[in-house]
């Protein structure tokens, strides 16, 4: 059974709250497949909240998300359903970040990959906005990263473009987002 099929099945259980679903998993002993499912749903939810952090979800941010996840065309409806549910869920991103951190506390590399992916979504529109920086710094703290860790991850993402992050609210021509490693 593919991860996408399991996500569809989980959505039937989720109802209107991804947060309550992730909380339930984070508080119980989970198997590897459940962790994979929770991770995928949590990453989609964090990606949705990241895209909305500056108030507007752009096509560039959605495209960056698709590049990061390499979603099969046939599964776009499933991902869109989770993405849209997360945008509307009353649970804040802090809740999602804490739950993902609890599930993967011993795997800092996984959490660093998540943060890296969120940076790519944030910069997809050509600018890293103040609200997006607040979001990313907060997620990093919830993941247990120090200020030094966060600065290192941010510098690495910045060095991939060779350009400093802009902080204006103006929309510029989007920069190319490199595919995930």
pLDDT in tens, 105-154: 756 788 998 898 899 889 888 888 899 999 999 999 999 999 999 999 88
**Is 167 part of any domain?**
no
Weakly modelled stretches of the chain, pLDDT under 70: 1-4, 8, 11-17, 25-28, 30, 89-91, 106-107, 159-181
Residue 53 and residue 151: Cα distance in Å, rounded? 20
**Is 170 part of any domain?**
no
Give me the pLDDT at residue 171, please.
Answer: 33
Which domain range does residue 9 map to?
3-161
Residue 144: count other Cβ atoms within 10 Å of its Cβ. Answer: 11
**Is 28 part of any domain?**
yes
**Is 64 part of any domain?**
yes
The terminus-to-terminus CA distance of the chain in angstroms comes to: 25
**Is 119 part of any domain?**
yes
**Is 173 part of any domain?**
no
Q: Closest by alpha carbon to 22, among 80, 82, 103?
A: 103
Give me the pLDDT at residue 150, please.
Answer: 92
**Is 171 part of any domain?**
no
For residue 59, how far is the Cα from the chain centroid?
16
Number of separate domains in the chain? 1
Give me the pLDDT at residue 12, please.
Answer: 67
Phi-psi region of 2 (alpha: psi -120 to 50; beta: other; left: phi over 0): beta
**Is 174 part of any domain?**
no
């Amino acid at each position: 059974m593919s991860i996408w099929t399991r996500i569809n099945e989980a959505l039937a259980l989720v109802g209107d709250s991804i947060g309550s679903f992730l909380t339930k998993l984070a508080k119980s002993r989970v198997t590897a497949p459940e962790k994979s499912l929770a991770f995928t749903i949590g990453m989609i939810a964090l990606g949705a909240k990241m895209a909305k952090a500056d108030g507007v979800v752009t096509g560039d941010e959605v495209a960056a998300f698709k590049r990061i996840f390499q979603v099969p065309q046939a599964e776009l409806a499933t991902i869109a359903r989770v993405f849209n549910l997360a945008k509307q869920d009353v649970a804040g991103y802090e809740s999602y970040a804490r739950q993902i951190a609890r599930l993967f506390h011993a795997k800092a590399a996984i959490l660093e990959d998540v943060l890296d992916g969120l940076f790519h979504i944030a910069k997809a529109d050509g600018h890293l906005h103040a609200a997006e920086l607040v979001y990313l710094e907060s997620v990093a703290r919830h993941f247990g990263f120090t200020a030094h860790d966060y600065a290192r991850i941010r510098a690495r993402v910045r060095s991939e473009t060779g350009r400093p992050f802009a902080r204006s609210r103006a929309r510029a021509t989007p920069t190319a987002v490199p595919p995930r490693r």
